[in-house]
Structure 1
Amino acid sequence: MTIGGKPERPPWVREIAIGLAVFAVYAIAAGLDWPGRRATAMAHSRRIFDLERALHIDVEPALNRWLVPHDTLRVIANYEYATTYVISAFALLFWLYLRRPAVYRWARNSFILVNLLSIACFAVYPVAPPRLVGDLGFVDTVRLGHTWGSWGSPMVAHANELAAMPSLHFAWAVWVSAMLAAYAGGRLVQGVSAVHVAVTALVIMATANHYLLDAVAGTLVVVLCVTVTRPRTPPRRGERVAAPDAFFLHVESAAAPQHVGGLAVLDGGDRTDLRDAVEAVVRAHLHELPRFRQRLSAPSRWRRPRWVDHPDLDWAWHVPERRLDGAEGDAALDALVAEIAQTPLPRDRPMWRFFVVSGLAGGRAAAILVVHHVVADGIGTVAQALNLLEPVLPPRAVGPAAGGGRSPGRVRTAFGTAAGLAQLATDGRPASRYPTSDTARRRFGTVELPLDAVRSAAARHGARVSDVLLAAVAGGLRRVLPDPDHAGTRLRVAVPLTVREPGTAAEGNTTAAVMMDLPLGPLPEAERLAGVAAGSRRLRTGTRALASRFVMGRLAGLLPTPAHAWFARTVYGARFFQAIVSNMPGPPIQLSLAGAPVVAAYPILPLAPGAPLAVGALGWHGSLCIGVSADPALVDDAERLAASVGAVIEELRGPVAPTPVAPAADSVTPAGDPAADRSGAAGR
């Protein structure tokens, strides 16, 4: 409830009652007993310790041996263990209740859930602390010192001693840090909170109250509970750059610019006013594109930047015009796209450009839109581009959904995320790396195929269109590599899947990457497609996508900016994948830009650091338009690679019945004609 526009505090009597109810649940769980329960808890404790030794993370004995001889430190550690987690947690709850009632509700709900999940674990999986398992060799510093308020003192004589997994002491400390990270961004507060978490971790292990894995489990419980209970509020203008968007600021380098976009071929004649007409269109729709009017605030090592208004746009820079010599053919346009893709966008102005290209063969023109990844992902960029085209399409979800259907509820999301995290942990890494340049040099190529032909290939082999695309990328790459056998037998690709909910804004990154291994060996193309189709189920279950999105959006958002930057540079690129392949649906009808019909639209994807290949496919008015971006160290002729991808798809389609000859006035390229590449169906 709100009063005068401000959230109303919940009744304090009710809040105390809720707290007492949770304590009652704990007391009931602590009173549970059955024959052999203590022996079971001891056995569980030994198993955890054995697992730590197998993983070589058993740091507790060394910490315990170090603490025991230091009498003063031992007493301080005992009191820290007994008091600071309680004081910090309840002090934060009290402060939020008084100062930020709206935030308090989230904090209270997440805190209650942390405790209830932990209590449930204590009840069904009792674990004794290492200090109580005599044969492990730990010294019980708590009982040794008889610290007031801790184990061994009358104050907690009835507490549940068999509740080491997960560590609630550490979980409460991490929960406090997570709440402060979300709503108190000062460096001093963050620093003190980080020290508290680190000290608590050392204390619980040095006093032999918990294992390291108990602390890890407590952290996972906190992350899950904070995420599940987090209120879903719409983004605000001028807000701090979201963690999934800042991710691409961190991974960007001079050799790996991170902007996405598209190349649109226009059939409007060689108009002299086209550039001015395109500028007029963007101006007219600027109110629908908030990030086109905003730039990033001054960079800071310790905080993510904010979006700030930048009303004075340099239109000559944002909408430049380029003229090509039609005699140079499509190679000149491909070279221009490659040049734009390898040139970083400056951060002192809105991070987008819309090139108007004239002088193409046949009196055609082109428009090249590039938008920095911090503004939107590939799906979002398509949605933004559609705002500039006519006729206006009705609102709809754009992009390959992760799992399809309605968004799952919070409980299903939580379980799906947990399953996905386990799956991601077992995915492994690619066996090899491909060569890359030290600079941002790029090659770009395109191929256009009739969408019916691609669907026919998929239906013929009992696969999906996305499976056909993935198999064609692997088969096409093998055909153009100088030494394909040296590249290995698997191509690890990152497949972006959108988790954007219908009706949400086009800004921001709401995709999650799912890794797939594509067969790259010397196989018949039908057999390659069968292998891809068999392994593509992971793209449709949604669990990996949920886990990826959780890590990118929730978990990474809790990290300090330097740690987030390290995380982004560590997980994005050659360590985990070798290429990016994205398939996006587009409009099923003819659209126009500034009165010029758009006859084809090809995605332009950025290369990830160390991953020298990115392939984007976009369905566009009956065609599948494929754009290939490649590092010349891998493939010097991206146009040849694009043609090879198209040839694989035609081969998968197989022989087709002869097509009746169309009247000359309506001449079209037959759907089954192998020439349905750039020289024919591309129409450029």
Structure 2
Amino acid sequence: MPLMLPADSMFLIGESREHPLHVGGLQLFRKPPGAGPDYVGELFRELLTHTDVRPLLRRRPADPVSIAGQLWWTDDRDIDLEYHVRLSALPRPGKVRQLLELVSRLHGTLLDRHRPLWEFTLIDGLEGDRFATYTKVHHAIVDGVAAMALLAEMMSPDPDVRGIPPVWADRPERRSTGGRSKGVAELLATAVKALPDTARDVAGVAGAAATLFGRAIQQDTAGLPFRAPRTMLNVPITGGRRFAADSWPIERLRAVGDAVGATINDVVLAMCSGALRRYLAEHQQLPDRSLVAAVPVSVRAEGTGTRGGNSIGMVLCPLASDLTDPVARLVSINRTMTETKEQLAGLSPVQVQMLAATQAIVPLLVNMTPGSNHLVAPTFNLFISNVPGPRERLYWNGAELLGTYPVSIPFENQALNITVTSYAGSMEFGLVGCRRSVPRLQRLLGHLEDSLAELEKEVLVD
């Protein structure tokens, strides 16, 4: 039985009915030319023939009812594929709003720990000769970058290519190159060999943490744990979810960023800041102090995405939401993120993860403790993630991928999550909120557009 890494096992140990800890993705497709009326049904039946499941997606906890059993993986050799792969349909002609409602319901249900931790739903009935897929995988199995790598494996830039197996199917080339999980003895031997490097990492991260925290104290910013203001988003949550999604052209964001010397990710954060200002203000809940976002940082080595697991760090970024000037908000975010990236540039991947633990992850676990929201200030107000995606337009056995929208995780006392991915010239925003605690979530999409338009008006010259 392979041992789980601590970064993976915490997503199982911390899960409850109110806190599902799986990530998901909604993919929107146009049917290929010449597709018949039963195209999706035929596709579903063909998918069920791919019974050779990749090792990563055969994993389940060794003992689902024991905390100790959630520290070890076991491989399921008798997978009930008809349980994991499902066909659903919207009442024709299905609207995008109905599709988002369906994904909201699917995303709120827990994965069965007695089975491998993933589900794939094929969705028929969408208007405009389209169909969709919704995939969810436990965060103990993959992070956002790994999920995008798995998705890319079942796509091709060539619309004429056929015979591409689905995301769960094993590939002959991977079987020939190994990819087995390490056993306990092997993991321990590797850890012993790495002790000198680990000692250096520990010594180095202390200085980096001192520098980051010292700068935050000196500048009186909110980029410290337990310094975020308490808002309507920082409350206990339920297991019900609401999902909203939309796309924006990357060129719009790039033009704004170039005008002030900021990155596209800085503009994403500034869009979110302006949208949250509007949303909280219309609920009469806008705090005087700046909101703080936890921004995940990938430390995954290139080409290792399909191996799964979690390889992420995290930084805290004040969103300057207390400033009324949209350009001033963007400049402040850019300054914070630039200084943080300069500090992280000299650290190893292990040090980045250790720094994330001291700055955000351990405080997050404190905030997830029932009743803690009455005792300490929030660690941060929400997650805002930006996951790089494919740059070219992709096809799945001739079906054009029109959009791919991330569906991520709200946490206890962080009732809203905003995750963004890039695809073929667009930035695809996926917003997930607690159904009870984040009312009228879809209004945030309009606020995101207003926030970007406001920046364009201020910085772009006709």
Coordinate RMSD, CA, aligned? 3.2
Q: Counterpart of 2:383?
A: 580
SS of structure 2 residue aligned to 1:490:
coil
Among candidates 394, 401, 406, match of residue 603 of structure 1? 406
Answer yes or no: is the 8 Å Cα contact 1:417–1:546 preserved in 2.
Answer: no
- Residue 314 of structure 2 aligns with an amino acid whose one-letter code is A
- 2:362 & 2:203 partners in 1: Cα distance? 28
SS of structure 1 residue aligned to 2:442:
helix
Q: Counterpart of 1:527?
A: 328
Among candidates 449, 453, 475, match of residue 252 of structure 2? 453
Among candidates 367, 373, 381, match of residue 147 of structure 2? 381
- Residue 351 of structure 1 aligns with an amino acid whose one-letter code is L
Query: Comparing both chains, which one has the higher relative contact order based on Cα–Cα distances under 8 Å and sequence gaps of 6 or more?
Result: 2
Give the strand-richer structure, 1 or 2: 2
1:515, CA displacement in angstroms? 1.3
Task: Confirm or deny that 1:550 pairs with 2:354.
Answer: yes
- 1:315 & 1:303 partners in 2: Cα distance? 24
1:311, CA displacement in angstroms? 2.6
Answer yes or no: is the 8 Å Cα contact 1:590–1:598 preserved in 2.
Answer: yes
Q: Counterpart of 2:206?
A: 418
Q: Counterpart of 1:492?
A: 292
Answer yes or no: is the 8 Å Cα contact 2:61–2:113 preserved in 1.
Answer: yes
Q: 1:298-447 residue pairs with structure 2 within 5 A?
A: 298-299=63-64, 300-302=66-68, 304-327=70-93, 329-391=95-157, 413=201, 416-423=204-211, 427-429=224-226, 430-435=228-233, 436=235, 438-447=237-246
- 2:16 & 2:110 partners in 1: Cα distance? 8
1:352, CA displacement in angstroms? 0.7
Answer yes or no: is the 8 Å Cα contact 1:281–1:594 preserved in 2.
Answer: no
- Residue 508 of structure 1 aligns with an amino acid whose one-letter code is G
User: Which string of whole-angstrom CA distances, capped at 9 and with x for unpartnered residues, describes residues 18-40 of structure 1?
Assistant: xxxxxxxxxxxxxxxxxxxxxxx
Answer yes or no: is the 8 Å Cα contact 2:212–2:340 preserved in 1.
Answer: no
- Residue 464 of structure 1 aligns with an amino acid whose one-letter code is T
Aligned residues: 396
1:614, CA displacement in angstroms? 0.6
Q: Counterpart of 1:206?
A: none
- Residue 291 of structure 1 aligns with an amino acid whose one-letter code is L
Task: Confirm or deny that 1:474 pairs with 2:273.
Answer: yes
1:278, CA displacement in angstroms? 5.7
Q: Counterpart of 2:56?
A: 291
Q: Counterpart of 1:664?
A: none
- 1:550 & 1:282 partners in 2: Cα distance? 42
1:242, CA displacement in angstroms? 0.9
Answer yes or no: is the 8 Å Cα contact 1:310–1:349 preserved in 2.
Answer: yes
Q: 1:271 to 1:448 in 2, by over 3 A?
A: farther
- 2:87 & 2:246 partners in 1: Cα distance? 24
- 1:474 & 1:270 partners in 2: Cα distance? 45
- 1:615 & 1:390 partners in 2: Cα distance? 28
Length-normalised TM-score, structure 2: 0.77
Segments of 5+ residues of structure 2 without an aligned counterpart are 159-163, 165-173, 175-196, 215-223
Answer yes or no: is the 8 Å Cα contact 1:512–1:548 preserved in 2.
Answer: yes
- Residue 316 of structure 1 aligns with an amino acid whose one-letter code is E
Q: Counterpart of 1:504?
A: 304
Length-normalised TM-score, structure 1: 0.53
Task: Confirm or deny that 1:266 pairs with 2:29.
Answer: yes
SS of structure 1 residue aligned to 2:128:
helix
Answer yes or no: is the 8 Å Cα contact 1:270–1:365 preserved in 2.
Answer: no
SS of structure 1 residue aligned to 2:2:
coil
Judge which range, 565-574 or 364-373, deviates more: 565-574
Give the helix-richer structure, 1 or 2: 1
- 1:614 & 1:253 partners in 2: Cα distance? 18
- Residue 304 of structure 2 aligns with an amino acid whose one-letter code is T
Segments of 5+ residues of structure 1 without an aligned counterpart are 1-237, 396-408, 556-564, 659-684
Q: Counterpart of 2:43?
A: 277
